[in-house]
Chains A and B, each alone.
Chain A
Amino acid sequence: MVLLIASSSIDSGIGCWDLQTGAEQLRYKSCASPAHGLVCVGEKFLACSQLRDPAATAGSVLYWSWCKPQVEVKSFPAEPLMALASNNEGTYIVGGGFSGDIYFWEVLSGRLLKKWHAHYRAATCLVFSEDDSLLISGSEDGCIRVWSLLTVFDDGWHSESKHLYQHSFTGHNLPVTDIAVGYGGSNAIIISSSVDRTCKVWSLSKGKLLRNIIFPSIIDAIALDPAEHVFYAGGRDGKIYTAALNAKCPASSDYGLHILGSLSNQSKSVTSLAFCSSGNLLISGSEDGAIRVWDTRTNNIIRVFRHSKGPVNNILVVRQQLLPKPQSTSQGSMRKHRSLLPPALAKFENSKDEDEDTGVIIGPSGPPKEFMGLSPLSSHVMDNQITELQQQGSAATGMELERLKYDREKSVQMLQHWRKMYDNLHQFCVNELLDGDQTKI
């Protein structure tokens, strides 16, 4: 089942729909998210950072399990977080703070593994690269930085190198609004959008700007076509522009170089975009609280969901195997599910010594597989033993010896038997002879 999940900046919960049927699932309560604040952690649960009063000293990150509308775990990081991201496996949660710090937590233990100063101003979006080894962060100061997780954790690197990041792209003049990463390991591209009305395409391997596209309006959201033919950019003018990556551009365009066209049907600004590869659907969230599903082949709207009155600023498309059971779950299973959620995120980094206490926690990994490998023994053992018998191996000789012993015993018995019979016969004969003699006499 493919789920569409959306949240808004005003408190109207997290909406959840089945993308195929359009049926609304559970609505998870009390969530007012900043843009890029909603993540699905390893397809196991939802996590969302919360918009807080600017005066608040601590931030807030909430967890919901699939089957329960109420918040299950609340964490309070040291400062309000803007963006939240999680790697594919769901082992880490990364948060970008208002101060420009990035916080790195291990999900299963809730430990804050690392915190570092990444940007001069708030980190607005965080994205993991496709193989989860790089983290890309965009900031309000217009800077985009690429971090290798390996070096972030490497204390030796800090002393050797003057900066922690792999690349720092400073092409945008105004805050970065969204980042998308393509496929292809080291050769992937990064696309960033900004308030400065441009989208820029960067090369991860070279650390260079590949393409700069100027749009007629500010772009708040981008979504990448999985085959990287084109990408979609949602503008504040309510249009979704299609921009060419590997597609051939016409010589002239209505909107500008590299812009192939636009999808538009909405008056209000597009605040979030997501692409669903099953069915080639593009999903857009709008300022007016509606979520529209577009068929990218026909450029038609095929479905509209109403989320709230406020702007929909997060959209996730999540593939889910088991159905989240709405309300009908019994108390027992509720408790069980509760225990499945990991503990809250820690506020501060532990000292080294404390870290040594607990190891790295590996989550349950499904049914044990090795039982399947057990195979019947006896015929195999029999074959082995037969060869052993033929080769007169030690154990076999033992058995052979025993057999011979047994044979001997039997023969001895037989011998005695015969002897007895002989004796009897002898006696009989003697008696007979004697008797005969007596009768003769």
Chain B
Amino acid sequence: MAAFNLVANMYDLALKPRLLHKLLREHVPDDKRGFNDHPELSKVVSVIKIHNLLSESSSLMDQTLIDSWKSAVDSWVNRLFILLSNDMPNKCWAGIILLGVTCQQCNSSRFLASYTEWLHRLLPHMQTDSPFLKVASCASISDLFLRLGRVQSVKKDGTSCAGKVIQPVIKLLHDDNTEAVLDTAVNLLCNLIAFFPFTIQRHYDSAEAAIVSKIFSGKCSSNMLKKLAHCLASLPKSKGDEDSWSLLVQKILLSIDSHLNDAFQGIGEDSKGNEFVRLLIPPGKDPPPPLGCNSMSEGSLDKITKSSERTLTSIISTLMVCCSTMITSSYNHQVAVPIRPLLALVERVLTADGSLPPTSVPFMTSLQQESLCLELPALHSDSLDLLIAIVKSLRSQLFPHAASIVRLIVKYFKKCVSAELRVKVYAVAKSLMMSLGVGMAASLARDVIDNALVDLNPVDNESSDPSSVNPEDTQTELLQHHKKRKRPSVPTSMKGQHERHEPGDDITSSSCMSTSVHLRIAALEALETLLTLVGALRSEEGWRAKVEHLLITAATSSFEWPRASDDIFFQANESIEVWVDYQLATFRALRTSLLSAVHVRPLALAQGLELFHRGKQENGTKLAEFCAKALLDMEVLIHPRVLPLSDFLPACSSSSEPLATYKFQEDTYFGSLISSKLLKVDTQEQTAADVDDDFLYDREVADDIEEAPIRDAGNALNNNQMTYNASNDLEEASANGLVSIETPKRTEQATAAVITEVGVVVKDDVFADASMNSSSISSKSNKTEEDFKRDPGPNLLAEDDFPDIIDADPDTEYEE
């Protein structure tokens, strides 16, 4: 009869007890059978999870089913008990681990009824000799407490249970050196701290000592050290008060300091260590006991382990990770972050570059210096991480200290050569800008741009093809702008750059890149943040054009995937996936750049739009998705919807902005006589921008034409309408827009430098148009460029064309 007791389908609840029995019969080891097929256990667990075989669903109506399921689970648990008490270690192991799974999977009433018994069965195995069983029992107990901790009603009971576990765990931490055991023991401890803080309170000091001794032992892997750091950082949560938190931070900082003193011996900055201690411990107060000790009487752990350079570094970095975890995690009480010592610590590490003080007799052998320099990058990286953590946790409260951080970062940026570290510096800059807003971005702007220009410049400067915009121009300009970077001339500077990044790599193909992709991504992200925040600021300095050009080039070249011959890319063992991220980063930055330009139409709008259209066609990629969204964002640039606010048309924003219409009231002359006429202009402003080909050819006299809509509104418009033809496509229209915007710039800026820039822009546009227009355009535009160079006259003229506006313009008066 039983043979034909069929169920409806695989979801039938009646199936569950039978499946469980089947598992017990065939797959779970028992007393008698041998047990060698270990992977089978993993199958058992997955079946149990998928079918919820242990859940004993409470919604059941059928009493016989309830009973049969209950008895099935009972026999499951009994089988586990049998396995647990088996002498064969592998069977015992199976019992332990399956009980852990049962803790997660079983019905909550069963769990609450039997967790004490289960714990008692598991506990002895924690103290066996076999590390294998220790790991398994720690994991299972940890799962038991994880479940218990989420049940509020048994908190008290749970606390007393946890009390039985805590000492064995600490003992494990102290005695055991097996990585796997430590790992699960630390996990269990973290669990207990999180859910049963009262238990830990009584053993706070011994827990601290155990963790610290492991950190100082120098025998743990870096992953293990990170875990230990997190565990140490969460320790004060067990007490849940401000004082224990502050005490631990103080202890950690002092310990870092003394280790740094050891590491930096002989480079002549001992005074910084003392200064640091003075900051941390106010005069007249006793220093806290050393880390890992409850009182001064016990010997310091630091002294016990006089360690090698390598362990020294790993100790320092672990403690730094611990610091950052402590300040970034959330608490339900307030904590006083010792900001000055933290910043002093970061500064101390970042200013140490392995150089020796020039004045004194060296206290260091070359051997010592070598080993110091070997470890320094790791230390730098950790302190940059710490700095990021500080910025993230303090946010606006960092303002009083922000200026010193800016100075530190700017200084460090100049010195830093390693790509990995530069990535982190960009990350610091980014988080600073995000947390502290416009003010911070404005003060970091110059340095971020400088560095990004260097890091993002393609190598092909020397082999530049004449058709494209010459990057040397930007480079030279950059150099002229910022003499502090000390590069006397372009060729040497470029060479220097090569040496900096990849030594001996000068003979690479043109599409090859000088800097690692990760660094480029970081630079692009920092640039994007900067543009988001202060895209509008100080645009008259001309940095926008440079950045925009850079981004256009980067985005264009990102379509060319690196080839196998591109040594650097593959040398660095970068997965090709990185390139996708890079592509996305360039397009993001470009979008932000185009959108953040205010007051003027972005110079490279046409090129940008084309790139986004091209990106959109790469169907199915992330890039295509992003480009589609970006095109929607930028639609407002194509069809402006708002009337600009500026009434006082400065000479700079001539006809490119359709805003010339409203004049402020004081200017009665202007208002009464021309306003009606001007309003008319406004309605047709859009068409005025869409000039046709003939118009473009007449670029030499661009200035006159541009001003035409305002000066001789009627004429110009008629002219436009007459020559207007339907062939004006999008690119063209915006290209025209570009040129017309550029003109006002000239009026503002000093002539010589500006002319090159204008030249660049004009060429740029033509480049974009070249594909669809005849070659005559490019020759024309070259001519245009020459014209500009030859004769700066129109610039001066342009100002004179607005005599009344200039006079009425109150800017000069209002500027600082």
Contacts and interface: CB of A to CB of B under 8 A. Distances in A.
A153 B810 contact: no
B396 A210 contact: no
Contacts of A395: 130-132, 135, 178, 180
Contact of A256 (B42, B136, B438, B665): B665
B440 interface: yes
Contact of B97 (A131, A186, A246, A378): A378
B401 to A, nearest CB: 8
A167 B811 CA distance: 12
A133 interface: yes
B533 A185 contact: yes
B748 to A, nearest CB: 12
A330 B393 CA distance: 34
A382 B45 contact: yes
B643 A246 contact: yes
Given A151-B403, A256-B665, A245 B396 contact: no
Interface string B663-677: 011100001000010
A306 interface: no
B143 A211 contact: no
Interface in A314-331: none
B646 A368 contact: no
Contacts of A212: 647, 664-666
B634 interface: no
B648 A249 contact: no
A356 B103 CA distance: 50
A106 B397 contact: yes
Given A246-B643, A362-B337, A186 B131 contact: no
B537 A131 contact: no
Interface in A228-251: 245-249, 251
Q: Is the interface of A mostly helix, strand, loop or mixed?
A: mixed
A364 B443 contact: no
B645 A249 contact: no
A205 B645 contact: no
B436 interface: yes
A85 B329 CA distance: 29
Contact of A131 (B101, B331, B437): B437
A153 B534 contact: no
Contact of A150 (B90, B403, B598, B647): B403
Interface stretch (A18-26, A47-55, A292-300, A385-393): A385-393
A134 B399 CA distance: 11
Contacts of A114: 400
A358 B282 CA distance: 10
Contacts of A389: 38, 90
Given A212-B647, A212-B664, A134 B139 contact: no
Interface in A250-306: 251, 256-258
B406 A150 contact: yes
B647 A156 contact: no
Interface stretch (A6-14, A67-75, A398-406): A398-406
Contacts of A155: 403
Contact of B811 (A134, A185, A208, A383): A208
Given A211-B647, A390-B38, A403-B89, A186 B533 contact: yes
B76 interface: no
Interface stretch (B189-197, B497-505, B755-763, B775-783): B189-197
Given A257-B664, A361-B335, A403 B88 contact: yes
A116 interface: no
Given A150-B439, A381-B136, A403-B89, A156 B403 contact: yes
Given A149-B399, A170-B814, A359-B340, A377 B187 contact: yes
Contacts, number: 282
Given A157-B403, A186-B442, A361-B336, A368 B237 contact: yes
A366 interface: yes
B316 to A, nearest CB: 21
A382 B136 contact: yes
Contacts of A384: 180
B140 A378 contact: yes
A217 interface: no
Contacts of A406: 87-89
A324 B666 CA distance: 51
Nearest to B650: A208
A436 interface: no
A336 interface: no
A66 B666 CA distance: 49
Contacts of B443: 148, 150-151
A150 B399 contact: yes
If over half of B's interface residues share one DSSP class (helix, strand or loop), that class is named, otherwise mixed; here it is: helix
A99 interface: no
A108 B104 contact: no
A211 B535 contact: no
Nearest to B104: A376
A382 B646 CA distance: 69
B39 interface: yes
A363 interface: yes
A365 B436 CA distance: 19
B337 A205 contact: no
Contacts of A362: 327, 331, 334-337, 393-394, 397
Contact of A210 (B45, B187, B399, B648): B648
B164 to A, nearest CB: 19
A153 B400 contact: yes
Contacts of A437: none
A91 B397 contact: yes
Contact of B136 (A108, A367, A385): A385
Nearest to A400: B90
A377 B100 contact: yes
A369 interface: yes
A270 to B, nearest CB: 23
A113 B400 contact: yes
B595 to A, nearest CB: 11
Interface in A326-375: 353, 356-371, 374
Nearest to B325: A370
A207 interface: yes
B403 A402 contact: no
A414 B442 CA distance: 85
B155 interface: no
B184 A371 contact: no
Contacts of B532: 185
A359 B88 CA distance: 57
B55 interface: no
Given A186-B535, A377-B100, A377-B187, A363 B334 contact: yes
Interface string B310-335: 00000000000000000101111111
B333 A185 contact: no
A307 B744 CA distance: 54
A168 B441 CA distance: 20
Contacts of B140: 377-378
B239 interface: no
A359 to B, nearest CB: 4
Given A359-B339, A386-B42, A208 B665 contact: no
Interface of B: 38-39, 41-42, 45, 49, 87-90, 93, 97, 100-101, 103-104, 130-133, 135-136, 139-140, 142-143, 146, 178, 180, 184, 187, 190-191, 194-195, 234, 237, 279, 282, 327, 329-340, 393-403, 406-407, 436-443, 532-539, 596, 598-599, 642-643, 645-648, 650, 662, 664-666, 671, 676, 679, 810-811, 813-816
Given A106-B397, A113-B400, A210-B646, 11 more contacts: A148-B438, A149-B439, A186-B438, A210-B645, A362-B336, A368-B194, A370-B329, A376-B146, A382-B41, A398-B131, A403-B89
29 contacts: A131-B533, A149-B399, A150-B436, A150-B440, A153-B400, A154-B403, A155-B403, A165-B816, A169-B814, A186-B534, A189-B645, A203-B646, A205-B536, A211-B648, A214-B665, A251-B679, A359-B336, A361-B334, A362-B327, A362-B331, A362-B337, A364-B330, A374-B191, A376-B100, A377-B139, A379-B97, A382-B101, A395-B178, A402-B130
In order of increasing CB-CB distance, the 3 nearest A-B pairs are A378-B100, A133-B437, A154-B403
